[in-house]
Amino acid sequence: MDWILADKSGEGELADDFQDLMIRTNQRSVSSGRIGTLDSLAASDNVTVLADTDASIEAQIRQGDNRIDEGLARLQEIYGAEHLKSLSDSELYSLFKRHALAK
């Protein structure tokens, strides 16, 4: 289980694809209600590590996940659009990830 939840960056395309599949499967199970209330709470605690990894954020970006837009909107409210525009891509990504981890 630890391997499944671990970051697969650099382990090859198959490992990255598998991790993306695990993330999507979990998200569908939670949103469809297939996971019950108590199980959902337990899964949230266990999946937090997975959901906050670079691979997960990248998968959400590729999928057009609304949480990315919501996170960017929160950053804009906190820091202002001009400040965010002044950041490099890597600085913005680091800031986004720091706020995503703080949730």
Structural domain boundaries in the chain:
2-102
CA nearest neighbour of 15 among 1, 3, 26: 3
Phi, psi of 81, rounded to the nearest 5 degrees? -65, -40
State the angle between helix axes of 13-32 and 37-51 in degrees (0 to 180), rounded to the nearest 10: 150
Tokens coding 22: 């695990």
How much is the pLDDT for 33? 67
pTM above 0.85, yes or no: no
Query: Mean pLDDT by 10-residue block, N- to C-terminus, for the chain (103 residues)?
Result: 60 72 76 61 52 70 86 92 92 86 63
Asked if residues 60 and 50 have their Cβ atoms less than 8 Å apart, the reply is: no
How much is the pLDDT for 76? 94
